[in-house]
C-alpha cells in the first residue's frame, strides 16, 4: 500500500493530484479546510478504489501540525508527501501595496508550513531511509514579480529550501522534489493580476507532476516556453531582467492600475 499525503487537496491542483492518485493500492491522506469539498473528493477517491482519510488540522498551529505529522508516521513515514496548500496576494489594482497582515499570513502557509513539514518529516524519512517530499513552488521563484512581491519571495524560499533538503536527504534514500508550475487554472490563479500565458488545466499539471514524482525529479517546472523564459530572468543581469518583466506586463501602470 502506497501512502500519499496531499495538503491543499481542496484546491484545483490538489484535487487533480488526489484524483490522479486515486486507485486500488494507494492510501490517501487529504488535507483541506473546506469540509464539503473535501468530503465530496474523499467519496470520489474511494469510488476509484483508493483508501482515503482526511484532515482539516490547523497547519499554522505548530502543536496541532506536529501532532498530525507524528500520527502520519505511525508506524512508518508516508511514501509521498505533497505540500501543496498555498495562497496568493497582490499589491492591489491601484498598486498601493500589500497589507502586512496578509503578507504575514501568506508567509505562514506558503513558506513556514512547508519548512515545518520538511523539518519534521525530513528527519523521520531520513531515519527510515525512504520517502519523498514534494514542495510546491512556482515559476515566480525565478524572479520576483512586481505585482506579487510576498508570493514571489515565499516561492523562492520554498525552492531554495527544497533544493537544500534534497542535497541533505538524497544520500539517505529520501527524495525531495520542487514543483514550479506556470499558470494553472484555479481560484488563486484567476485572482492574480497580470497576463496568464500558456494557461494549463489542473489535470494536465497533475499528470506532469505525478510523472516527475515517480522519477524522483529534483525540479518539475512547466510549461516549457514560460519555464525557459522565467529561467532566463534568473540568469540575466538584473537590470535586463527588470526591463523584461516590465515589458511582459507584470508591473503597475500608475494611471491604469494593475494589468490583468
Ligand X SMILES: NC(=O)c1ccc[n+]([C@@H]2O[C@H](COP(=O)([O-])OP(=O)(O)OC[C@H]3O[C@@H](n4cnc5c(N)ncnc54)[C@H](OP(=O)(O)O)[C@@H]3O)[C@@H](O)[C@H]2O)c1
Residues that bind ligand X (CB under 6 A): 8, 10-14, 32-34, 59-60, 84-87, 109, 136, 138, 181, 183-184, 186-189
Contact 45, 18 (CB under 8 A): yes
CA-CA distance, 233 to 242, in Å (whole number)? Answer: 8
Half-sphere exposure of 161 (CA within 13 A, CB side): 23
Parallel, antiparallel or unpaired: strands 219-222 and 175-181: parallel
Q: What are the cell numbers at 80?
A: 509521498
Comparison of 127 and 188: residue with beta carbon closer to ligand X = 188
Least distance to ligand X, CB of residue 59, Å: 5
Q: For ligand X, which residue has the nearest CB? A: 11
Comparison of 43 and 170: residue with beta carbon closer to ligand X = 43
Comparison of 126 and 157: residue with beta carbon closer to ligand X = 157
Least distance to ligand X, CB of residue 255, Å: 28
Grid-cell match 488540522, residue found: 57
Parallel, antiparallel or unpaired: strands 26-31 and 2-6: parallel
Comparison of 20 and 86: residue with beta carbon closer to ligand X = 86
Beta bridge partners of 27: 3, 51
Parallel, antiparallel or unpaired: strands 80-83 and 252-253: unpaired
Least distance to ligand X, CB of residue 188, Å: 3
Least distance to ligand X, CB of residue 150, Å: 12
Buried b (16+ CB within 10 A) or exposed e, 204-235: ebbebbbebbeeebeebbbbeebbebbeebee
The burial of 99, by beta-carbon neighbours within 10 Å (0-12 exposed, 13-18 middle, 19 or more buried), is given as exposed
Contact 31, 5 (CB under 8 A): yes
Least distance to ligand X, CB of residue 117, Å: 12
Comparison of 221 and 241: residue with beta carbon closer to ligand X = 221
CA-CA distance, 257 to 183, in Å (whole number)? Answer: 21
Beta bridge partners of 136: 179
Least distance to ligand X, CB of residue 86, Å: 2
Least distance to ligand X, CB of residue 173, Å: 26
Amino acid at each position: 500500500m502506497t501512502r500519499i499525503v496531499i495538503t491543499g487537496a481542496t484546491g484545483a491542483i490538489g484535487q487533480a493530484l488526489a484524483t490522479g492518485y486515486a486507485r486500488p493500492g494507494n492510501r490517501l491522506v487529504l488535507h483541506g479546510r473546506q469540509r464539503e469539498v473535501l468530503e465530496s473528493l474523499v467519496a470520489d477517491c474511494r469510488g476509484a478504489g483508493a483508501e482515503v482519510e482526511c484532515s482539516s488540522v490547523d497547519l499554522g498551529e505548530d502543536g496541532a501540525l506536529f501532532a498530525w505529522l507524528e500520527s502520519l508516521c505511525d508506524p512508518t513515514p508516508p511514501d509521498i508527501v505533497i505540500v501543496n496548500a498555498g495562497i496568493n496576494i497582490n499589491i492591489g489594482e491601484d498598486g498601493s501595496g500589500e497589507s502586512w497582515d496578509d503578507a504575514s499570513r501568506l508567509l505562514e502557509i506558503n513558506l513556514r508550513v512547508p519548512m515545518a513539514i520538511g523539518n519534521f518529516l525530513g528527519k523521520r524519512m531520513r531515519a527510515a531511509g525512504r520517502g519523498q517530499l514534494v514542495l510546491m513552488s512556482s515559476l515566480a521563484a525565478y524572479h520576483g514579480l512586481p505585482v506579487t512581491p510576498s508570493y514571489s519571495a515565499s516561492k523562492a524560499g520554498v525552492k531554495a529550501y527544497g533544493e537544500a533538503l534534497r542535497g541533505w536527504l538524497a544520500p539517505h534514500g529520501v527524495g525531495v522534489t520542487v514543483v514550479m508550475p506556470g499558470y494553472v487554472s484555479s481560484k488563486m490563479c484567476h485572482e492574480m493580476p497580470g497576463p496568464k500565458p500558456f494557461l494549463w488545466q489542473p489535470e494536465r499539471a497533475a499528470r506532469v507532476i505525478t510523472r516527475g514524482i515517480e522519477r524522483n525529479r529534483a525540479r518539475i517546472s512547466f510549461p516549457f516556453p514560460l519555464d525557459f523564459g522565467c529561467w532566463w530572468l534568473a540568469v540575466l543581469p538584473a537590470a535586463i531582467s527588470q526591463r523584461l518583466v516590465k515589458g511582459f506586463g507584470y508591473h503597475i501602470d500608475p494611471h491604469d492600475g494593475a494589468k490583468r
